[in-house]
Amino acid sequence: MTASIERAKGAAPGSARLGATRHQLRADAQRNHARVLEAARAVFAEQGIDAPMTLIAEHAGVGIGTVFRRFPTKQDLVVALVQQRGEQLVEAAEAALASDKPGDAFRSFVSLAAEQQIRDRGFCDSIGTQLFAREDLRELFDGVRERVGRMLDRAIEAREVRSDIVAADVLFVLHGVARTGLMLEDGAPGVWRRYLGLALDGLRPEAATALPRKAPTKRQVDNAACGGG
């Protein structure tokens, strides 16, 4: 269940090597690790998270055994990919926070985040799986949310965004847009931008109407992202 991705090769077999330091992967193993990641990225992005592992092995030009040696579980592989995406998000958020036009920065961050999910079906699928239960990912997710929160504060202060929403709201709305966008993407590429536009207009202060419910608490959000279903 909680298999660690990295090869925790334990105490060195015959030699007097220190048990503490894990030694480096062999060259071919390193190559394969990279190949698998790359292939998984491509396959999951196009086919979604339900793509079979054999397909990834095939795409990477290695045997399935090799895939599972590098990533003991399908989930481990997915987590590795989601982690990359998360880091990209943090980076983008950081850039948005550096801008001096809070409204525009906010909107283009959101747009970028949506596009990320549109272009990577697997990433979109991953959200809402019990995936974020894992400590490592939860931490990353919190980082994103915290930055979005700051981004939001600035945009609200600039009267570019309604004042009754929180960071989690943005992420949820985002995911909703991506989900619907993906339904249409094959037949009408780019229409997701239309729905993102509608969603963003809903976040503007001009049309703001009292929301019927309070924002979900952090625990509720975590439980959701982590999925109980």
Partner DNA sequence: GCAGAAGCGGAGCAGGCACTCCGGTTACAG
Partner DNA sequence: CTGTAACCGGAGTGCCTGCTCCGCTTCTGC
DSSP 158: T
Residues 153-192 close enough to bind its own copies by CB under 8 A = 162, 165, 169, 172-173, 175-177, 179-180, 182-184, 186-188, 190-191
Q: Are 36 and 66 in contact (CB under 8 A)?
A: yes
Q: Are 112 and 67 in contact (CB under 8 A)?
A: no
CB of 94 to DNA, least distance (A): 33
Window 19-38: contact mask with DNA (x via CB under 7 A) = ------xxxxx-xx------
**Is residue 119 at the binding interface for its own copies, with CB under 8 A as the rule?**
no
Residues 63-92 close enough to bind DNA by CB under 7 A = 63-66, 68-70, 72-75
What's the Cα-to-Cα distance from 78 to each of 71, 83, 175, rounded to whole Å? 9, 8, 18
What's the Cα-to-Cα distance from 134 to each of 84, 131, 139, 170, 227, rounded to whole Å? 15, 6, 9, 22, 12
**Is residue 143 at the binding interface for its own copies, with CB under 8 A as the rule?**
no
Which residue ranges make up the site for DNA (CB under 7 A)?
7, 9, 12-14, 25-29, 31-32, 50-54, 61-66, 68-70, 72-75
